[in-house]
Amino acid sequence: MSSSRRDVLMGGVAVAAAVATGDAGGAAGARAGPERGDVASLQAAFDRLSKTLNGGDVAGFLALFDERATVIDEDSPFRNSKAQFVDHLGFHGAKNWEGFAWVPRETRLLVRGDTGYTAGTVTFRGKPVDDGFRLRHMLHTITWHRTGGDWKIVCFHQAPIYGHVSNPSPGTGG
């Protein structure tokens, strides 16, 4: 992907997040308060998500999901329930990987009441036991709901960036 196309794409992600948060000048959700919600607790939940993924803690990762969650994963072309996602993860179990990393970048957060939203880019790096190295740059959008003080994921969506830039609009030079 050319540098200018990547810059346009990343700028679009940042603009969309800034518009959604009403924050045109800095990190979304940097100021907590009644209108911004409790961004610090959502950040802590997102950090737990990252820690469980990177630590291979599948049970801890899945515990972050509401039982009625919808999952749209980069590795499956179908919308999945939590149970279907659990089955999908079982197919790609930890014993099948020599290494794995989920590295989020440029994550924006928004909280309104008991609903939270995290979005940004992420790099997935992994080495399956019987296959070559994998590297995927993706966009992620995660919707959270707070119940009893705990944030649970109600919609988890990640998709490869290249899927968002193929077949550009006519006249874009791509």
Instruction: Tell me the C-alpha distance between 152 and 114, whole Å.
Output: 10
Confidence category of residue 146, pLDDT binned at 50, 70, 90 = very high
Q: Classify residue 14: in a domain, yes or no.
A: no
- Say if residue 97's pLDDT is above 80: no
Q: Classify residue 20: in a domain, yes or no.
A: no
Q: Please name every residue paired with 160 in a beta bridge, in sequence order, or none if there are none.
A: 138
Q: What is the mean pLDDT of residues 8-37?
A: 41
Q: State residue 87's pLDDT score.
A: 77
Confidence category of residue 31, pLDDT binned at 50, 70, 90 = very low
Q: Classify residue 92: in a domain, yes or no.
A: yes
Mean pLDDT of the chain, nearest integer: 75
Q: State residue 20's pLDDT score.
A: 43
Q: Classify residue 158: in a domain, yes or no.
A: yes
Confidence category of residue 93, pLDDT binned at 50, 70, 90 = low
SS3 assignment for 49-117: HHHHHHCCCHHHHHHCEEEEEEEECCCCCCCEEHHHHHHHHHHCCHHHEEEEEEEEEEEEEEEECCEEE
Q: Classify residue 22: in a domain, yes or no.
A: no
Instruction: Tell me the C-alpha distance between 83 and 67, whole Å.
Output: 8
Q: Classify residue 3: in a domain, yes or no.
A: no
CA distances from 119 to 95, 125, 132 (A): 29, 19, 29
The total number of structural domains that make up the chain: 1
* Domain assignment of residue 83, given as a range: 38-165
- Say if residue 57's pLDDT is above 90: no
Q: What is the mean pLDDT of residues 131-136?
A: 76
Q: Classify residue 171: in a domain, yes or no.
A: no
* CATH classification at residue 80: 3.10.450.50
CA distances from 8 to 38, 105, 166 (A): 31, 16, 14
- Say if residue 107's pLDDT is above 90: yes
For residue 63, give the nearest of 75, 48, 74 by alpha carbon.
48
Q: Classify residue 18: in a domain, yes or no.
A: no
Q: What is the mean pLDDT of residues 87-108?
A: 77
Q: State residue 99's pLDDT score.
A: 76
